[in-house]
Amino acid sequence: MRDKHILFTGGGTAGHVIVNLALIPYFQREGWEIDYIGSKDGIERTLIEQVEGVTYYPISTGKLRRYMSKENLKDPFKVMKGTLQAGRIIGKRKPSVIFSKGGFVSVPVVLAAKMRGVPAIIHESDYTPGLANKLAIPFSRKVLATFPETMNYLPEKKAEYVGAVIREELFQGDKEQGLAMCGFTKAKPVLLIMGGSAGSQKINETLRNSLDVLLEQFQVIHICGQGKTDPTTERQGYTQFEYVNEELKDLFAATDYVLSRAGANAIFEFLALQIPMLLIPLSKEASRGDQIINAASFEENKYARVLQEKNLTEETLIQEIEQLKKQGPVMQDKMKKYQSEKAKERVIDIIMEIRK
C-alpha cells in the first residue's frame, strides 16, 4: 500500500485555505499523516494551527504587489529561500502527494515538490487563474478548476473541471444557535454582511449609514474584519463580529440573504447553502479583477445580483437589497440544481490516483 501522507499548502487570504480545511477532515478520518506549509505570519497559520493532527511548517514567501515598491526587488530572493525551505521539509517528511490551494506561499512549495519528485495538485477557485497558480502550474501534475469556463485558461492535458469543494460542517449549522448568538428572533429575515477576511471599509461605512432603513426589514449580522467593529453603532437587531470561524456554520444557518465580496470560495459556499446573494466584487484598482468576473458568472446564472463598488452608495445599497429580497425565491430555485458534494469526492479520487 502506498504511503498515506499528504502535505497541503496555500495562504495569504482565507480563500486560499478554505478548500484545504474542507478536505483535511476526510484524510484525518482515514488515518493519513497531514502536514501544512504556509507563511510565517499569514492567516493560514492562524487557521491551520487550530486544527488538531496537522503539523504546520512556516517558510519564507514573496508577495504580489500591484504597486511600485522596493520590496518587489526582494521577492525573488524570498521565493528562492522558501523553495529551499520547502524542499528540506518535503525531503524530511516525504509526503506521497501535495495539494495546493494557491497564494504566493504555494509557489515555492510546488516548485520544490517538482524538484523532489512528489506529485502536486493545484486547485484554482477563480474564473481565471491567479498569478501564483500561473507560475506554479508548469510544475504541477494536475490542475483542477471550480468554474467550467476556467478550462479555457488551463493546459488541456493536465486540467480537469471538478467544481467547488465545500466544507461539510457548513451543512451542519444550527439556526436556533445562530439566532441566539446574535440575540435575534424569527420576527424578521436575517441579512449577513461579509467584506472578505480582511473586511471592507467602504462596505462597512455604507452599511452602518444605512442601518436605520435596513433594520426596518431585516436583522443584520455584520462580519467587519479585524479591528473594524464600531461600538457606537450597536443597536437592537444588529450585531458585529471581527471574524468568525467555528460558529460560522450557525450564522449561515440563520441567514436568509447575504451581501458579500465575490471571492470564489465564499460565493460557492452560499450557492451550496442556497442563500440568495448580493455581490460587491473588489474593483480592478484593488485587485486583478477576478472577483468582477466571478460575480458576472453568478449573475448570468441567476445565482446573485451584482453591485459594482464604484456604484455603491447608501441609496443603491438599500435598493439592491430590496431587489435581492424580491428575487430570492427565483435564485433559490436556480441554486437547487447545483450539486456540491460531487466535487469533493472527485478531488479525493484524484489525490488517490496520483499519489506516489
The DSSP H or E segment spanning 270 is: helix 264-272
User: Quick one: pLDDT at residue 284?
Assistant: 80
**Longest CA pairwise span in the chain (Å):** 62
Mean pLDDT, rounded, for 60-80 = 66
CATH superfamily of 172-335: Glycogen Phosphorylase B; (3.40.50.2000)
Mean pLDDT, rounded, for 126-143 = 93
Spatial contact of 303 and 271, defined as CB atoms under 8 Å apart: yes
Tell me the backbone φ, ψ of residue 324, rounded to 5 degrees: -60, -45
Mean pLDDT, rounded, for 48-70 = 80
- Percent share of the chain, pLDDT over 70: 94
| 55: confidence class by pLDDT, cuts 50, 70, 90 | very high
Q: Nearest-CA neighbor of 4 among 37, 25, 46, 34?
A: 34
pTM: 0.85
How far apart CA 17 and CA 264 sit, in angstroms, is 12
Question: Which cell is 290 given?
Answer: 477576478
How far apart CA 98 and CA 102 sit, in angstroms, is 12
CA distance readout (Å), 277 to 45, 85, 221, 249? 29, 42, 14, 17
Res. 275: pLDDT tops 60: yes
Res. 200: pLDDT tops 90: no
User: Quick one: pLDDT at residue 183?
Assistant: 96
User: Quick one: pLDDT at residue 1?
Assistant: 45
Res. 243: pLDDT tops 70: yes
Question: Which cell is 318 given?
Answer: 438599500
| 196: confidence class by pLDDT, cuts 50, 70, 90 | low
CA 350 to chain centre: 21
| 331: confidence class by pLDDT, cuts 50, 70, 90 | very high
User: Quick one: pLDDT at residue 199?
Assistant: 55
* Secondary-structure breakdown of the chain: helix, strand, coil percentages, each rounded to the nearest 5: 45, 15, 35
The pLDDT mean for the chain works out to 91
* DSSP-derived secondary structure for 175-243: HHHHHHHHT--SSS-EEEEE--TT--HHHHHHHHHHHHHHTTT-EEEEE--TT---GGG-BTTEEEES-
Mean pLDDT, rounded, for 193-213 = 85
Question: Which cell is 177 given?
Answer: 444557535
Mean pLDDT, rounded, for 221-230 = 90
Residue 7 three-state SS = strand
Write the single-letter amino acid at 204: N
Location of each CATH 3.40.50.2000 domain in the chain: 5-165+340-354, 172-335
SS3 for 69-89 is CCHHHHHHHHHHHHHHHHHHH
Res. 74: pLDDT tops 70: no
Dump pLDDT digits (tens) for 288-306: 888 999 999 999 999 999 9
Mean pLDDT, rounded, for 306-320 = 96
- Percent share of the chain, pLDDT over 90: 76
Q: Is the dihedral of CA 211, 216, 217, 222 positive or negative?
A: positive
Spatial contact of 258 and 275, defined as CB atoms under 8 Å apart: yes
Fold (CATH) for 5-165+340-354: Rossmann fold (3.40.50)
Say what the alpha-carbon torsion angle 283, 288, 290, 291 is, to the nearest 10 degrees: -20
